[in-house]
Structure 1
């Protein structure tokens, strides 16, 4: 990722970037991370100071009831999301399999064999 002119402003831009990351639905789940954790959509910072429909017609008792209902349904939503992730992974695997040709090795073919170390360090000497 190239920052360009924003390189010095990264600390100031980070909260907005993280907020966007948490409130945009993922392709794999069709849900936002906040919705999967809390069972509800977040109010955007721009909505807090403005007179939007959600802010204008906010009712605390109705909000508490709605939050309880959302929390009751959050487990079902997570299960649905888990099924969507499995479908997404199989879709990605099919796309990969269509692009990458299969390789068949015969006895005597030379292949590159990578051995992994037993610990976190992959160097010869740690």
Structure 2
């Protein structure tokens, strides 16, 4: 049996605000935003579920490790855009032959990994 990834989950304080942030940074469409959770989808149907406090899931926002990554064409361009908008972003790291990446923090303090492949 082959399984398909259903969703990645992130804890947030405010599902509406977090859905807007992820939508504007990564082009995700919010298909269902409620107090307990917000479901966002990319163009391929993959889902990111943002869990608010009303979800009952006992995980606090502010994850220091990246439970989800986003693929962009050019991490340096992504980084420059974040810095121009006043958002902190790590330096570009990694190996050009394997993968380049940066990390950013969402408004809830969750670490988000942005990769080029």
TM-score w.r.t. the length of structure 2 is 0.20
Which protein shows a greater Rg? 1
Flag the structure with higher helix content: 1
Flag the structure with higher strand content: 2
Larger relative contact order (C-alpha < 8 A, sep ≥ 6)? 2
TM-score w.r.t. the length of structure 1 is 0.19
